[in-house]
Amino acid sequence: MDSVNTDIFSRSQRYRHARCNSLTADAATTLIQAFVSCCLDYCKSLLYGVPDSLIRKLQSVQNAAARVITGARWCDHITPVLQQLHWLPVRRRVDYKVACMVHQSLSGHAPRYLADDINFVANSGRRLL
């Protein structure tokens, strides 16, 4: 987890300098968004249910990347910045991606190895996980 945080943070800082020197704002935005999305989606099912302390680390890195893209200051509230970029907070992003994976598995659009592990549970008056 720490290596992912370090990698995303250091790359976003390098992109900040590259944006000033050679990349257009649109190119830098696309590059950072693609990289951050890829890193946050990597092993997303392993992030489901992890403690908030680990999610906070990833959230701080996502926030730093959002600030690099938009030019927001460290003292600015991050929620409007994330909304402007159409980014979900990390916890909600993980929940959303896992829900999409389950939906694809149940509707027959996921790889067979995933679909075989997900089954409907009959309504028996109690919840089963």
Per-residue pLDDT tens over the stretch 37-84 = 887 787 777 888 899 998 998 899 899 888 888 889 989 999 999 999
Burial class of residue 57 (count of CB atoms within 10 Å of its CB; 0-12, 13-18, 19+): middle
pLDDT at residue number 84:
92
Compare 115 and 82 and report the one with higher pLDDT: 82
CA separation, residue 21 to residues 12, 18, 64, 82 (Å): 14, 5, 19, 25
Instruction: Note the pLDDT tens digit of each residue in 9-34.
Output: 666 666 655 555 677 778 878 888 88
5: number of Cβ within 10 Å: 17
CA distance 108 to 116: 10
pLDDT at residue number 78:
95
Query: What count of residues does the chain have?
Result: 129
Question: Structure pTM?
Answer: 0.71
Decide if pLDDT at 104 tops 60.
yes
Residues 2-11 have a mean pLDDT of 63
DSSP state of 43: T
pLDDT at residue number 59:
92
